[in-house]
Amino acid sequence: MPAERLSMRKIREVLRLSWGGGLSPRAVARSCGMGRTTVREYLQRATRAGLSWPLPEGLPDSELEALLFPPVSACNAPRPLPDWQHLHEELRRKGVTLFLLWEEYKAAHPEGYEYSRFCERYRQWAGTLPVWMRQDHKAGEKLFVDYAGMTMPVVNRETGEVRQAQIFVATLGASNYTYTEATWTQTLPDFIASHVRAFEFFGGVPELVVPDNLRSAVSRSCRYDPDANPTYAEMAAHYGTAIVPARVDKPRDKAKVEAGVLGVERRILAKLRNRTFFSLTELNQAIAALLKEYNRRPFQKLEGSRHSLFEKLDQPALKPLPGTRYEYAQWLKARVNLDYHVCADDHYYSVPYRLCKQEVHVRLTDTVVEVFHNGQRVASHFRSHKKHHHTTLKQHMPENHRVHAEWTPERIVRWVGRAGEATAEMVERIMASRPHPQQGFRACMGIKRLGETYGQDRLEAACQRALDIQSPSYKSVKSILEKGLDRKPLTTKTTSAPTIQHENVRGADYYQPNPTKGEDTPCSSTPPWTDYAN
């Protein structure tokens, strides 16, 4: 059945239910599966055509269509067309809808198009635009971020080594205003730093940031509920924005930045292809110069440029920047050991002893290490870069250095030292070598596990060997067991040192027994320091 016949059947049904059945436009719309505005328009057209219910018997669909939709030539004057580009830009403003724009259009042109025809004509005009221009994004709402597929080579001036720089791209949804820069990697520190510089370039912060599902942005990919990286989420909270990752394998979710990446590759990177750069700073300076030209380049199918639209739409709608820059912080999960310390970047930091064996979150910046439990900060330390050392606060320690009522240094010695006397002595020496005995608990636990792996007899032999060579440490015992030295006898090689020939070294012959005093005295009465004085 032709589409117009089906349309006429629906119109007849609308007239029947409205005029014949007395239903409200809302009920008619629900019954016929169309909008209330469309129902009202059909009723208005039927009223203007002088129709009533029931319709004249035998009225064909073609005549009904002619009455309801008279040809344009039958109208007294052509209807004025709206400024579609102006409407398209206005739709990106907050709170502006197509219905509001139609009401303003009808107020200025009462003889203009009705709402349904108005929407149809607008969609026809918008269909001539590229896909990335058709998307309706509110001013200041979304910032799309991604990395370009192209990279840029940077040459080390001294060694000649060539390193590929990654290209970060960020595009605002409403104006397509773009920021781009080169970084060495796509890892989290570079990714976060690029966001910070992008916000400063735009002079404000959008409501939402839409990244791709790269590892630096999303810690767990999911089509419906992805998890943002904790550091990325903290950065967003600092700037008062939200992270909404694009869905996996849905490029239309980030069509804006896809178009922005394409523009950056064609208008910026391609122009730099024959230049040689010797530093990242030099490359970014060249990119910045071409980026300004790219943002001011006029649109082909719209009036203005990215820069002019940015000043008109996005810039006034962006949130202000916070008073301070975001300081990069890395988040880790850790479990508190028996010595009430957590390991972060190969350094051990104390936490309140009551948190032993609890899982905590550690936040590391360049200067500070913070520990959180159940969302509450429980410890804060200045960051130390000394590997395998301890930072301990006295307030974190229980009375008498007790980690737990049942875990004391004496019990650790008894528990680990079951393998033998050498093992117990090893444990005692390890704890005695630390400022606080509890700091040695971790090493003692490691020795206990070595006994579980290699057996108690071998552990005892390895501890004895480590004590004999004056190396009482976990690493020494582990090395002895791994190399099987505990099964070999300890041999000591004695070698006579070569005789040193020097004028100030007299040797054993210089001294002779004194028969009167029974002492070894120099054969010369000259004091030995006389030679040095001369």
- At residue 251, the pLDDT reads 55
Supply 465's token pair. Answer: 């060997």
Alpha helices in 160-265 (DSSP H): 188-202, 230-239, 255-264
Looking at the domain that runs over 142-317, which CATH code has it been given? 3.30.420.10
Mean pLDDT of 374-400: 85
- For residues 457 and 422, the answer to whether their CB atoms sit within 8 Å is no
Alpha helices in 297-432 (DSSP H): 306-309, 315-317, 409-416, 421-432
- At residue 501, the pLDDT reads 58
Q: Is the pLDDT of residue 129 over 70?
A: no
- At residue 436, the pLDDT reads 64
**Residue 468 burial (10 A CB sphere; 0-12, 13-18, 19+):** exposed
User: CA-CA distances (angstroms) from residue 348 to 75, 352, 354, 391?
Assistant: 85, 13, 17, 6
Checking DSSP bridges between strand 520-522 and strand 511-513, what pairing results, if any? Answer: antiparallel
- At residue 494, the pLDDT reads 43
Sign of the CA dihedral running 299, 255, 257, 98:
positive
- At residue 439, the pLDDT reads 66
DSSP string for residues in 337-360: -TTSEEEETTEEEE--GGGTT-EE
Supply 394's token pair. Answer: 């006295």
Between 385 and 403, name the one with better pLDDT.
Answer: 385
- At residue 470, the pLDDT reads 87
Least confident of 242-256, 330-344, 421-435, 512-526: 512-526
Between 399 and 199, name the one with better pLDDT.
Answer: 199
- For residues 61 and 5, the answer to whether their CB atoms sit within 8 Å is yes
Q: Is the pLDDT of residue 497 over 80?
A: no
Contacts 24+ apart (CB under 8 A), 493-496: none
Least confident of 80-89, 93-102, 144-153, 502-511: 502-511
- For residues 428 and 413, the answer to whether their CB atoms sit within 8 Å is yes
Q: Is the pLDDT of residue 200 over 90?
A: yes
Q: What share of the chain has pLDDT > 70, as a percent?
A: 77
The alpha carbon torsion through 197, 202, 208, 214 (nearest 10 deg) reads -40
Least confident of 160-164, 458-462, 495-499: 495-499
CA 199, CA 241: separation in Å to the nearest integer? 11
- At residue 320, the pLDDT reads 94
- At residue 516, the pLDDT reads 47
Q: What's the alpha-carbon Rg for the chain, to the nearest Å?
A: 41
Least confident of 64-78, 79-93, 95-109: 64-78
Between 148 and 489, name the one with better pLDDT.
Answer: 148
Which helix (H) or strand (E) element contains residue 30?
helix 25-32
- Beta-ladder partners of 364: 330, 369
For the chain, which residues make up each domain, given as ranges?
3-70, 84-128, 142-317, 330-401, 409-487
Least confident of 63-77, 180-194, 292-306: 63-77
Mean pLDDT of 214-235: 64
Convert 369-383 into a string of H (helix), E (strand) and C (coil).
EEEEECCEEEEEEEC
The residue type of 175 is S
- At residue 432, the pLDDT reads 79
Convert the pLDDT of each residue in 265-313 to its tens digit.
Answer: 988 998 898 899 999 999 999 999 999 999 999 887 677 889 998 998 8
> At 246, is the pLDDT very low, low, confident or very high (cuts 50, 70, 90)?
confident
- For residues 47 and 79, the answer to whether their CB atoms sit within 8 Å is no
Q: Is the pLDDT of residue 140 over 70?
A: yes
- At residue 402, the pLDDT reads 46
Mean pLDDT of 335-350: 89
Query: Please, what is the average pLDDT of the chain?
Result: 79
Between 52 and 492, name the one with better pLDDT.
Answer: 52
Residue holding tokens 């970014």? 284
Sign of the CA dihedral running 355, 359, 363, 364:
positive
> At 520, is the pLDDT very low, low, confident or very high (cuts 50, 70, 90)?
very low
- At residue 248, the pLDDT reads 60
- Beta-ladder partners of 334: 360
Q: Is the pLDDT of residue 262 over 60?
A: yes
Mean pLDDT of 520-525: 42
Between 153 and 101, name the one with better pLDDT.
Answer: 153
CA 135, CA 112: separation in Å to the nearest integer? 26
Q: Is the pLDDT of residue 495 over 60?
A: no
- At residue 378, the pLDDT reads 93
> At 438, is the pLDDT very low, low, confident or very high (cuts 50, 70, 90)?
low
- At residue 353, the pLDDT reads 86
Between 133 and 461, name the one with better pLDDT.
Answer: 461
Convert the pLDDT of each residue in 392-432 to its tens digit.
Answer: 888 887 765 544 444 555 666 666 666 688 888 888 888 77
Between 244 and 133, name the one with better pLDDT.
Answer: 244
CA 141, CA 207: separation in Å to the nearest integer? 5
Q: Is the pLDDT of residue 534 over 60?
A: no
DSSP string for residues in 103-153: HHHHHH-TTS--HHHHHHHHHHHHTTS-HHHHS---TTTEEEEEE-S--EE
